[in-house]
Structure 1
């Protein structure tokens, strides 16, 4: 709810307290409640001006650091940018919060006394530290960046006992996210599933800490927009979506192997099921607030889930005897993705946008390509590390005559390019690996702006852009991909390894 006149602060109040109130007001405006009348400016203009003032005068002012209220302001600013879809900025701000918190000593098991501007402030330092870790790992997982501080041990029961259900789940999810990030940083080996299976078992145990009815997809029946009930319902949806995103992030690399080996079946099914569950919850929340808040961070999770589903159906067509069970859910999966795209259209024109227009176009094109592929057309798939390269667009579509391609950014796993191709002989298909492949960089590149990232209907990448490229053929011929003995120096899809390149969702943001 907006602050009442009795809650408005004296302009002579401490600047940190004023900043905190300003950020909370921005959060309210950002929620999309459309029953505010009499504003002199559009809510977006007010929000941007207030956040800019807080950032310039308070959260980046080291002279004001050192109090719990200032630390809260830094966290609120990061959450604002996350909700607004500026994930890189949110990550930069939460890293500032992490450093300030460490200087205050609240990361220690026995933290020193903290300073408060307002004597009535009763914020628990351990809880604030947990929120910083949760936000940092949430963003690092999406951006493909290393976490700010390694801590993969489950919190003690004494800490969990004092938490509410959602906070308890959040602490456990933060630990799982830390382990997934750590796995990705060390480099994942395709022939070593032990660590992934161990994390998966831990994730299942985390899910079992919540009552069964918690996992029902919320229906928002009887929930009023802008009410406290809505706040908790949305918090529940967000926690559920993050859980299923963890499952997807954990198992997606094995789906991207496009390997018929049955030892990867569990990861295929887990990725597809989790993506489906995530989309279901996203659509439930959108239908409740179709004209309301634009939470772009959740939109990115839905975009990733949609792409994972479509790539899973590509994979299932490669070896239908193994994963033909997905055929029964293909149409409903596509329908959910169409609904997600419609949700993005519903939001467009309001204060924000759920997805960038190019991302919408890319997902729509991927739907067309997947449908085209299911009807028997052959496609070449390249998984490439390094920054995306934008070439001139060519004419094309699902029925185009020219070379039609689509570029897909997948967090942690580089850039996937799908191109239609003429039917080749079996011998040609078995040797369609790019000769220009090279070693894969272990460091991410985030200089690419989102508007320059997606490659839609482009010709072949120039040779200098094809470093660390692996080509895989999708088609109706009786061809099973052979992942061993590929290019010299290329380990991106070899039987013994997965792509180490980390290229994150921040390339999808404006």
Structure 2
């Protein structure tokens, strides 16, 4: 356990001169990697050694390390190993039984079975939601009534788990469940003091170490709240709507994404240890993508229907500040990419956001675009963006998902494209503003760690936008707005 604790502490270390560390190849980085890799190889993946409460704690430390490093798939698999071990020991009953196996007597004095189960459920729900992977069978609390015994700050974390679990299990278009979960999140937020939702000041010297730890946890809970709101309403972002709850969902997703980006900005500016908590980079990527797509649609709808009003019309007056926020985010991610010479995660996120900002700028300057999504699975494993049709169109290549093409109206496309959708009965459509669908599937393609993690996030995000959220129009095609 000591090696895993050392690795986790070194992730957040900051050198005396304020530079982020540890960098690849540095003394700190080498110690960190060697310590964690040794512990994983010799302990956490050895079933004979982890069949105890201390073994579960070690696997959870491994999961935390992988999550902070941005290796979300490895973190998810570590959580699954910890979950399986805990169920074998009977921890899923959330009772500290005398029959539990402890290697050290002092562990029994502080061990809390209910809290351990909750932390496993919490990590599993978060990683499953970001990666689009299913939840395990381990449950903490299945209904809100069971949570009333907890203090508000503890209750909101458990409500977030409950909401994330139901989003993951959500099938089809169930507006009533969306409304129910939205009210649940609203109630959880209202239980906290109003000023609790202000962004905490994490700047060096602004507070004591204990206050910094408290405020960092508070910020992470805020991240969770706004990310859940974004994911809850994400399927309705790209759908046609004529007012009512559809418009409410669009604006909720946009506002929640804006709040996420504002907190990411505060977190990264005041936290020079870029290697720490890389999971927030993925939440930022999702939020920035949603915000850019909303502004693209805002400009496009104004071009198509001058003087018309829809849910995105309100974004006209926030465009400059929103785009400025995304631009600042890209600068921060670019600095991370430069600090860590081969940071695959940062470079891939940077590629996507840079291309989206490029599209937003062109649409705002009067270029009229439609959008298509295609499989393009054989076109390469790297993120790639390029101009097409003589500079009149843009194509974004997303590994394992396919292509997203932004086509200028009046430009002839070379042929039909397809996108993976969970419903194989949907038919193929035509037209520049149509997402064409067939029932094929894209098999995962092995790649380096960063691509592997981004694959799951892309599938969870883009299939939510262009797959599950799409609806048939009167002609039998899938329309984007």
Short-chain TM bin: 0.7 to 0.9
Counterpart of 1:47 (choices 17, 29, 32) is 32
1:21 and 2:34 are equivalent in the alignment: no
In 1, distance between residues paired with 2:157 and 2:376? Answer: 33
CA RMSD of aligned residues (A): 3.8
Instruction: Describe the superposition over 1:255-286 as per-residue Cα deviations: whole angstroms up to 9, x where unpaired.
Output: 122x1432410111000100011111111111
Spell out the pairing of 1:146-295 with structure 2 (5 A cutoff). 146-149=134-137, 151=139, 153-154=142-143, 157=146, 161=149, 166-183=153-170, 186=171, 188-189=172-173, 192-220=174-202, 223=205, 227-257=209-239, 259-263=240-244, 264-290=246-272, 293-295=275-277
More helix by share: 2
For residues 280 and 470 of structure 1, do their structure 2 counterparts lie closer, same or farther at Cα, with a shift above 3 Å needed? Answer: closer
1:131 and 2:131 are equivalent in the alignment: no
In 2, distance between residues paired with 1:212 and 1:71? Answer: 37
Spell out the pairing of 1:305-344 with structure 2 (5 A cutoff). 305-320=287-302, 321-322=309-310, 323-344=312-333
Counterpart position of 2:368: 378
For residues 216 and 120 of structure 1, do their structure 2 counterparts lie closer, same or farther at Cα, with a shift above 3 Å needed? Answer: same
Counterpart of 1:72 (choices 57, 82, 86) is 57
SS of 2:396's equivalent in the other structure is strand
What is the deviation of 1:127? 0.2
Counterpart position of 1:361: 351
Counterpart position of 1:460: none
CA contact (8 A) 2:223 2:263 kept: yes
In 1, distance between residues paired with 2:181 and 2:374? Answer: 27
CA contact (8 A) 1:251 1:268 kept: yes
For residues 398 and 278 of structure 1, do their structure 2 counterparts lie closer, same or farther at Cα, with a shift above 3 Å needed? Answer: farther
In 1, distance between residues paired with 2:148 and 2:70? Answer: 31
Q: Which moved more, 1:108-117 or 1:140-149?
A: 108-117
CA contact (8 A) 1:382 1:470 kept: no
In 2, distance between residues paired with 1:126 and 1:134? Answer: 12
SS of 1:116's equivalent in the other structure is coil
In 2, distance between residues paired with 1:385 and 1:130? Answer: 39
The total of aligned residue pairs comes to 435
SS of 2:367's equivalent in the other structure is coil
1:145 and 2:108 are equivalent in the alignment: no
SS of 1:34's equivalent in the other structure is coil
For residues 433 and 341 of structure 1, do their structure 2 counterparts lie closer, same or farther at Cα, with a shift above 3 Å needed? Answer: closer
Q: TM-score, normalised by structure 1?
A: 0.75
For residues 265 and 41 of structure 1, do their structure 2 counterparts lie closer, same or farther at Cα, with a shift above 3 Å needed? Answer: closer
In 2, distance between residues paired with 1:106 and 1:200? Answer: 31
For residues 160 and 288 of structure 1, do their structure 2 counterparts lie closer, same or farther at Cα, with a shift above 3 Å needed? Answer: farther
CA contact (8 A) 1:31 1:293 kept: yes
Counterpart position of 1:431: 431
In 2, distance between residues paired with 1:392 and 1:23? Answer: 32
SS of 1:418's equivalent in the other structure is strand
Counterpart position of 1:117: 103
What is the deviation of 1:161? 3.8
Q: Which moved more, 1:80-89 or 1:391-400?
A: 391-400
What is the deviation of 1:438? 1.3
Q: Which moved more, 1:303-312 or 1:348-357?
A: 348-357
Instruction: Describe the superposition over 1:177-202 as per-residue Cα deviations: whole angstroms up to 9, x where unpaired.
Output: 0011011xx3x22xx41111111111
In 2, distance between residues paired with 1:124 and 1:452? Answer: 34
For residues 360 and 493 of structure 1, do their structure 2 counterparts lie closer, same or farther at Cα, with a shift above 3 Å needed? Answer: same
In 1, distance between residues paired with 2:176 and 2:445? Answer: 31
In 1, distance between residues paired with 2:436 and 2:188? Answer: 44
For residues 362 and 399 of structure 1, do their structure 2 counterparts lie closer, same or farther at Cα, with a shift above 3 Å needed? Answer: farther
CA contact (8 A) 2:371 2:480 kept: no
Counterpart position of 1:299: 281
SS of 2:292's equivalent in the other structure is helix
SS of 1:210's equivalent in the other structure is coil
In 1, distance between residues paired with 2:375 and 2:144? Answer: 36
What is the deviation of 1:221? 5.6
1:418 and 2:405 are equivalent in the alignment: yes
Instruction: Describe the superposition over 1:274-322 as per-residue Cα deviations: whole angstroms up to 9, x where unpaired.
Output: 0011111111111211355542110110111001001111222344411
In 2, distance between residues paired with 1:110 and 1:453? Answer: 35
1:87 and 2:72 are equivalent in the alignment: yes
CA contact (8 A) 1:279 1:302 kept: yes
What is the deviation of 1:84? 0.4
In 1, distance between residues paired with 2:61 and 2:382? Answer: 41
Instruction: Describe the superposition over 1:44-95 as per-residue Cα deviations: whole angstroms up to 9, x where unpaired.
Output: 1111111111111111111112322111110010010011001111001100
